Amino acid sequence: MDSQTEATQTYPMPERGPQGWRFRAGIGKDGTDRGAGAQSGTGRRMDSAIHPPYYESHTLVQGGTGFMGETRVQRRLAAILAADVVGYSKLMEADEESTLRTLKSHREIIDGLIHHHDGRVFSTAGDSVVAEFRSAVEAVRAAMAIQQELGTRNEALPRHDKMLFRIGVNLGDIMVDGDDLLGDGVNVAARLEGLCAPGEVYVSGSVHDQVDGKLPLRFEDKGEHTVKNIAKPVQVYRLRAIAENAHGRTVSEGALPLPDKPSIAVLPFDNMSDDPTQAFLADGVVEAITAALSRIRSFFVIARNSAFTFKNRAVNVIEIGKELGVAYLLEGSVQRAGERIRITVQLVETEGGAHIWAEQYDGLVEDIFDLQDRITERVAGQLQPSIRLAEIERSNRKRPQDLSAYDLTMRAMPHVWALEKKEASRALALLDEALTIDPNYPLALSLAGWCLAQRSVYNWSETAENSRTQAFKLAEQAAQLSANDPLILTVLGAVHTFVRNFGTARVLLERALALDPNSAWAWQRLGWLDNYADQPEQALEKFEHALRLSPLDPMNFNVYVGMASANEIAQNYDKAVDLYRRALEERPQAEWILRNLVSSLSGADRMEEARECFESLRRAYPDLTIQKFRQAMVFSNAALDCMCTNLKKVGLPD
- What would the pLDDT profile of 473-486 be if each residue is shown by its tens digit? 898 888 888 888 88
Contacts of 369 (CB under 8 A, 6+ apart): 288, 399
The mean pLDDT of the chain is 78
Supply the pTM of this predicted model: 0.53
Pick the CATH number of 14-241 from 3.40.1390.10, 3.40.50.740, 3.30.70.1230, 3.40.50.2000: 3.30.70.1230
Q: Which residue type is seen at 278?
A: Q
Q: Strands 128-133 and 180-182, how do they pair?
A: unpaired
In this predicted structure, what is the pLDDT of residue 395?
41
Q: How far is Cα 400 from Cα 479, in angstroms, rounded to an integer? A: 15
Q: How far is Cα 318 from Cα 322, in angstroms, rounded to an integer? A: 6
Q: How far is Cα 26 from Cα 7, in angstroms, rounded to an integer? A: 15
User: Is there a contact between 110 and 146 (Cβ–Cβ < 8 Å)?
Assistant: yes
Contacts of 481 (CB under 8 A, 6+ apart): 398, 440, 442, 445
Give residue-wise pLDDT tens across range 288-312: 788 878 877 767 888 877 888 787 7
Q: How far is Cα 193 from Cα 187, in angstroms, rounded to an integer? A: 10
33: DSSP letter: B
What CA–CA distances, in Å, run from 615 to 114, 125, 304? 20, 33, 37
In this predicted structure, what is the pLDDT of residue 460?
85
Per DSSP, the residues of 273-301 read: SSSGGGHHHHHHHHHHHHHHHHT-TT-EE
Contacts of 612 (CB under 8 A, 6+ apart): none
What CA–CA distances, in Å, run from 590 to 173, 309, 314, 563, 586? 35, 19, 29, 16, 9
In this predicted structure, what is the pLDDT of residue 388?
37
Residues in the chain: 654
Q: Strands 201-204 and 234-241, how do they pair?
A: antiparallel
In this predicted structure, what is the pLDDT of residue 494?
86
Cα dihedral angle (249, 254, 259, 260), rounded to 10 degrees?
Answer: -110
Opening angle at CA 242, ends 542 and 451, nearest 5 = 55
User: Is there a contact between 620 and 595 (Cβ–Cβ < 8 Å)?
Assistant: no
Q: Which residue type is seen at 459?
A: N
Q: How far is Cα 372 from Cα 361, in angstroms, rounded to an integer? A: 9
Q: How far is Cα 139 from Cα 79, in angstroms, rounded to an integer? A: 6
What stretches of 385-532 show up as alpha helix (H) in DSSP?
403-416, 421-437, 442-457, 464-481, 486-498, 502-515, 520-532
User: Is there a contact between 409 and 444 (Cβ–Cβ < 8 Å)?
Assistant: yes
Short-list 278, 285, 395, CA closest to 345: 285
Q: What is the largest CA-CA distance in the chain?
A: 90
Task: Please provide the CATH number assigned to the domain covering 555-654.
Answer: 1.25.40.10
In this predicted structure, what is the pLDDT of residue 298?
67
Residues in the chain with pLDDT values less than 50: 1-69, 243-254, 385-397
HEC letters along 235-256: EEEEEEECCECCCCCECCCCCC
In this predicted structure, what is the pLDDT of residue 71?
53
Q: How far is Cα 594 from Cα 577, in angstroms, rounded to an integer? A: 10
Q: How far is Cα 536 from Cα 530, in angstroms, rounded to an integer? A: 6
Q: How far is Cα 606 from Cα 600, in angstroms, rounded to an integer? A: 9
Q: Which CATH architecture has domain 265-391?
A: 3-Layer(aba) Sandwich (3.40)
Q: How far is Cα 23 from Cα 239, in angstroms, rounded to an integer? A: 39
**DSSP H or E stretch at residue 180:** strand 180-182
Give residue limits of the domains in the chain: 14-241, 265-391, 555-654
Short-list 144, 20, 31, CA closest to 71: 20
Q: Which residue type is seen at 221?
A: D
In this predicted structure, what is the pLDDT of residue 260?
65
Q: Which residue type is seen at 554?
A: P
What stretches of 516-636 show up as alpha helix (H) in DSSP?
520-532, 536-549, 556-569, 573-586, 594-603, 607-620, 626-632
